[in-house]
Structure 1
Amino acid sequence: MFAVPPDALLITVAPTGAETAKADCPQLPTTLEELVQTGRECEAAGAAMIHVHVRDADHQPTLDLSLLTDTVQALKEATDLIVQLSSGGSVHDPLDARLKVLDAQPDSCSLTMGTTNFGDDVFSNPWPFVCELYQLSQERQVVPEFELFDLGQAHALARLIDTFGLPYGGRVHCDFVMGVPGGMPGTADALVAGLATLPPHVTSWSATGIGRTTLPVALAALSKGGHLRVGMEDVVTLSRGVPVESNAQLVDRAASLGMLAQRTPMSPREARDLLGVRAR
Structure 2
Amino acid sequence: MAEYNLMVAPNGARRTRGDHAQLPVTPEQTAQTAAACFAAGAQALHLHVRDDAGRHSLEAGRYREALDAVRESAPGMAVQITTESAGIYDVAAQLACLEALRPAAASVSVREMARDPQLAARAYALSAEAGTQVQHILYGSDCIAQLSAWYQDGTVPGAMRDAIFVLGKYTPPVLAQPDGLAAFRDATAEMRLNWTVCAFGRHEHACLLAAVAAGGDVRIGFENNIETPEGGLLADNAASVAAFVQAAKAQGHTLKEH
Q: Same fold (TM over 0.5)?
A: yes
In structure 1, the residue matched to 2:233 is: 243
Is 1:149 aligned to 2:135, yes or no?
A: no
> 2:114, 2:120 within 8 Å by CA — same for their partners in 1?
yes
8 Å contact from structure 1 (residues 109, 142) kept in 2: yes
> Offset at 1:203?
4.2
CA distance in 2, matches of 1:43, 1:93: 30
Aligned-partner residue type, residue 107 of structure 1: A
Supply the distance in 2 between the matched residues of 1:198 and 1:260 (Cα, whole angstroms). 29
2:164 pairs with 1:175: yes
The structure 1 segments of at least 4 consecutive aligned residues displaced by more than 6 Å after TM superposition are 182-185
Distance in 2 (CA, whole Å) between partners of 1:184 and 1:157 is 24
CA distance 1:214–1:197, change in 2 (3 Å): same
Deviation at 1:22, TM superposition (A): 2.3
Residue number among 212, 217, 228 corresponding to 2:202 in the alignment = 212
Contact 1:89 1:98 (8 Å CA) reproduced: yes
Matched-pair contact (CA < 8 Å) for 1:114–1:127: no
RMSD: 2.5
Percent sequence identity is 25
Identify which of 2, 6, 10 aligns with 2:5.
Answer: 10
Q: 1:114 aligned to 111, 131, 140, which one?
A: 111
**Segment of structure 1 superposing worse, 14-23 or 127-136:** 127-136
Structure 1 position 64, deviation (Å):
1.8
TM-score scaled by length of structure 2 = 0.87
Matches of 1:242 and 1:111 in 2, distance apart?
A: 32
Alignment coverage as a number of residue pairs = 254
Contact 1:148 1:175 in 2 (8 A): yes
Distance 2:231 2:174 in 1: 25
Instruction: Give the counterpart of 2:214 among 224, 228, 238.
Output: 224
Report the 3-state secondary structure (helix = DSSP H, G, I; strand = E; otherwise coil) of the residue aligned with 1:212: coil
Supply the distance in 2 between the matched residues of 1:77 and 1:89 (Cα, whole angstroms): 27
Using the TM superposition, give the Cα deviation of residue 44 of structure 1 relative to its aligned residue in structure 2, in angstroms.
Answer: 1.2
Flag the 1:142–1:255 CA change in 2: closer, same or farther, 3 A.
same
Q: Give SS of 1:29's match.
A: coil
Query: TM-score, length-normalised on structure 1?
Result: 0.81
Structure 1 residues 136-170: Cα deviation after superposition (integer angstroms, max 9, x where no partner): 211221010111101222222222223337759x4
Moved more, 216-225 or 179-188: 179-188
The one of 17, 27, 37 aligned to 2:32: 37
C-alpha separation in 2, matches of 1:41 and 1:24: 20
User: Cα 1:172–1:184, aligned 2, differ >3 Å: closer, same or farther?
Assistant: farther
1:139 aligns to 2:129 (yes or no):
yes
Structure 2 equivalent of residue 277 of structure 1 = none
1:50 matched residue in structure 2: 45
Gaps spanning 5+ residues in structure 2: where? none
Task: Tell whether the 8 Å contact from 1:107 to 1:143 is kept in structure 2 after alignment.
Answer: yes
Match of 2:82 in 1: 86
